[in-house]
Amino acid sequence: MGIDDRVRAVYPGSFDPVTPGHLDVVDRARALFDEVVVLVAVNGDKQPDADEEKRATAVRAVLPAGWTTVTVTAWRGLTADYCRRHDVAVIVRGVRNTTDLQAEHRLAAMNQSLGVATVFLPTRPELAVVSSTVARASGG
């Protein structure tokens, strides 16, 4: 398989802060795809504690050294635009519950219309109760 045959995926999110659930999704995504880009994004609906560059640095700091196929990038703009510009075929989304799934399904349909597929990875039950919002509120 040549480098042009590699399947790249992005895992977008605010990662404010990164949680064990996020790391679990990245770990499982790297088993499915040749490369995974953790895309630290700006979400107009959220008010993060730090800008996207600082959040990207925080994500990089917690990734295990052996995860050499995982990179972290800060991005302002649509995830689908990033995918088209960087030859990324798949968006990975973790879903904790049916509410997440409904919201993510709508986004997946929009991204599919823009030419980018979405893969949903259900959160492991023991990690599903911790969101970034809850982690931030509890100080960690």
Residues with catalytic annotation? 22, 46, 96, 132
54 annotated as a binding-site residue:
no
Give the DSSP letter string of 69-134.
TEEEEEE-S-HHHHHHHTT--EEEEEE-SHHHHHHHHHHHHHHHHTT-EEEEEEPPGGGTT--HHH
26 annotated as a binding-site residue:
no
88 annotated as a binding-site residue:
no
Distance, in Å, from the CA atom of 1 to the CA atom of 96, rounded to the nearest integer, reads 34
- Counting Cβ atoms within 10 Å, is residue 62 exposed (0-12), middle (13-18) or buried (19+)? middle
Q: Which pair of structure tokens corresponds to residue 122?
A: 């259900």
60 annotated as a binding-site residue:
no
113 annotated as a binding-site residue:
no
120 annotated as a binding-site residue:
no
131 annotated as a binding-site residue:
yes
104 annotated as a binding-site residue:
yes
| Phi, psi (rounded to 5 degrees) for 102 | -65, -45
- Residue located via tokens 């993510």: 104
Binding site as annotated, residues for substrate = 14, 46, 79, 93
Binding site as annotated, residues for ATP = 14-15, 22, 94-96, 104, 127-133
